[in-house]
């Protein structure tokens, strides 16, 4: 089992990895979508920013300190569209994400004897403990790091002409 301090450190490191994967991308590449129905890396980053503020940190706080309260509804797909993630400035989005992640890490480090067994009955996930929500936060980062890498790989393979990326191999 991953200890609480290790998990906080991993969450800090995945936040750094996300920012590093995005840094210094041209705006055109940050806004590029593999297909119209898929997210750009800029949309992924702003999704992570909103999830940081309005999902994981807020909901974990509610679950740890007010486990009987209902969670506010979220709609990440609508947020991407309605908040026009893809028109935002990449540098500003990275800075905002880093600021929110720092706030999350500071908040987590300040927790005293968290009750990881507190449980919320989620409408689609069923009973969800605070420990599972915290583990899901880190897993969410890792899933989106994979997605960011896939979109950047797709961009490179489509824009490397006249060169080829075939020697590198293919995504599995």
Residue 30 has pLDDT above 80, yes or no: yes
- pLDDT digit string (tens) for 71-96? 999 999 999 999 999 999 999 999 99
Mean pLDDT of the chain: 95
Q: How far apart are CA 123 and CA 67, in angstroms?
A: 15
Residue 140: predicted pLDDT = 98
Per residue in 1-11, pLDDT (tens digit) is 778 899 999 99
Q: What is the reported pLDDT for 36?
A: 95
The mean pLDDT value for 37-51 works out to: 97
How much is the pTM? Answer: 0.94
Q: Cα torsion at 142, 143, 146, 151 (round to 10°)?
A: -140
Number of Cα atoms under 13 Å in the Cβ half of residue 120: 25
pLDDT in the model for residue 124: 87
Query: 40 vs 54, 84, 131, 166, CA distance in Å?
Result: 21, 12, 31, 23
Go through the domains of the chain in sequence order and give each one's CATH number.
Answer: 4-168 (1.20.120.450)
- Residue 172 above 90 pLDDT? no
* pLDDT tens column, 102-156: 999 999 999 999 999 999 999 888 899 999 999 999 999 999 999 999 999 999 9
Q: How far apart are CA 142 and CA 65, in angstroms?
A: 27
Q: How confident is the model at residue 169 (pLDDT cuts 50, 70, 90)?
A: confident
How confident is the model at residue 171, as a pLDDT?
Answer: 67
pLDDT digit string, tens, across residues 50-67: 999 999 999 999 999 999
Work out the angle at residue 16's Cα, subtended by the Cα atoms of residues 14 and 19, and round it to the nearest 5 degrees: 110
Distance CA 172, CA 170 (A): 6
């Amino acid at each position: 089992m991953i200890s609480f301090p290790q998990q906080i450190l991993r969450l800090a490191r995945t936040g750094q990895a996300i920012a590093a994967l995005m840094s210094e991308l041209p705006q055109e590449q940050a806004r590029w979508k593999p297909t119209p129905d898929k997210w750009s890396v800029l949309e992924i980053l702003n999704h992570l920013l909103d999830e940081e503020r309005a999902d994981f940190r807020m909901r974990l706080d509610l679950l740890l300190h007010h486990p009987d309260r209902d969670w506010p509804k979220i709609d990440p797909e609508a947020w991407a569209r309605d908040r026009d993630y893809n028109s935002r400035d990449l540098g500003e989005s990275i800075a905002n994400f880093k600021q929110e992640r720092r706030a999350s890490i500071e908040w987590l480090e300040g927790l005293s004897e968290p009750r990881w067994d507190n449980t919320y009955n989620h409408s689609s996930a069923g009973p969800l403990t605070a420990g599972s929500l915290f583990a899901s936060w880190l897993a969410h980062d890792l899933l989106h790091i994979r997605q960011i890498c896939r979109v950047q790989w797709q961009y490179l393979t489509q824009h490397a002409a006249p060169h080829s990326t075939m020697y590198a191999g293919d995504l599995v």
